[in-house]
Amino acid sequence: MINEQRVIQHFMDLVQIDSETKNEQNISKVLKEQFAGLGLYVYEDDTMNETGHGAGNLVVTLEAEGVAGVEGVEPMLFTCHMDTVTPGQGIKPELGEDGWIRSDGTTILGADDKAGIAALFEAIRVIQENNIPHGKIQFVITVGEESGLVGARAMNPKDIDASFGYALDSNGAVGTICVAAPARAEIEMKIYGKSAHAGVNPEDGISAIQVAAKAIAAMKLGRIDDETTANIGKFQGGSALNVVCDFVQIDAEARSIVQEKIEQQIAQMREALETTCRKYGATAEFRSEIKYPAFGFHDDHEVVQLAQRAIRSLGLETSTFASGGGSDANIFNGFGIPTANLAVGYEDIHTTKERIRAADIVKLSQVVIAIVQETAKGK
Mean pLDDT of 13-36: 98
The backbone torsions φ and ψ at residue 211, rounded to the nearest 5 degrees and listed phi first, read -65, -45
Per-residue model confidence (pLDDT) at position 322: 94
3-state secondary structure of 149: coil
Q: What does the DSSP 8-state code read for residue 295?
A: E
Task: With cut-offs at 50, 70 and 90, classify the pLDDT of residue 71.
Answer: low
pLDDT number for residue 72 = 73
| pLDDT band with cut points at 50, 70 and 90 for residue 378 | confident
Looking at 267-334, which runs of residues are DSSP E strands?
283-292, 295-296, 319-322
For residue 66, what pLDDT band results from cuts at 50, 70 and 90? confident
Q: Which of 238, 258, 260 is nearest to 247 (CA)?
A: 238
Least confident of 50-59, 68-77, 167-176, 189-198: 68-77
For the stretch 278-333, pLDDT in tens is: 999 999 999 999 999 999 999 999 999 999 999 999 999 999 999 999 999 999 99
pLDDT at residue 67 tops 80: no
Query: In the CATH scheme, what is the code of domain 4-181+294-376?
Result: 3.40.630.10
pLDDT of residue 70: 53
| Residues designated catalytic | 83, 145
The stretch 346-362 carries a mean pLDDT of: 98
pLDDT exceeds cutoff 80 at 69: no
Residue 239 predicted with pLDDT over 70: yes
Contact 222, 324 (CB under 8 A): no
- The domain spans of the chain are 4-181+294-376, 183-292
Average confidence (pLDDT) over 15-26: 98
- Asked if the model's pLDDT at residue 276 lies above 90, the reply is yes
- Predicted confidence band of residue 1 (pLDDT cuts 50, 70, 90): confident
218 SS3 class:
coil
Q: SS3 of 222, please?
A: strand
Q: Name residues whose C-beta falls within 8 Å of residue 299's C-beta, 6 or more positions apart in sequence.
A: 179, 305, 320
* Average pLDDT over all residues of the chain: 96
**Cα distance between residue 54 and residue 83, in whole Å:** 10
Q: How far apart are the C-alpha atoms of 132 and 369, rounded to whole Å?
A: 9
Rounded distance, CA 197 to CA 41, Å? Answer: 68
Q: How confident is the model at residue 341 (pLDDT cuts 50, 70, 90)?
A: very high
CA neighbor of 137 nearest in space, from 150, 151, 123: 123
Q: What is the pLDDT of residue 76?
A: 98
pLDDT digit string, tens, across residues 91-133: 999 999 999 999 999 999 999 999 999 999 999 999 999 999 9
**Alpha-carbon distances, residue 88 vs 17, 80, 354, 363 (angstroms):** 9, 17, 11, 25
Q: Are strands 247-256 and 319-322 parallel, antiparallel or unpaired?
A: unpaired
Contacts of 99 (CB under 8 A, 6+ apart): 357, 358, 359
Q: What is the pLDDT of residue 152?
A: 98
Specify the CATH number for 183-292; select among 3.30.70.360, 3.10.20.30, 3.10.129.10, 3.20.20.10: 3.30.70.360
Is residue 68 scored above 80 in pLDDT?
no
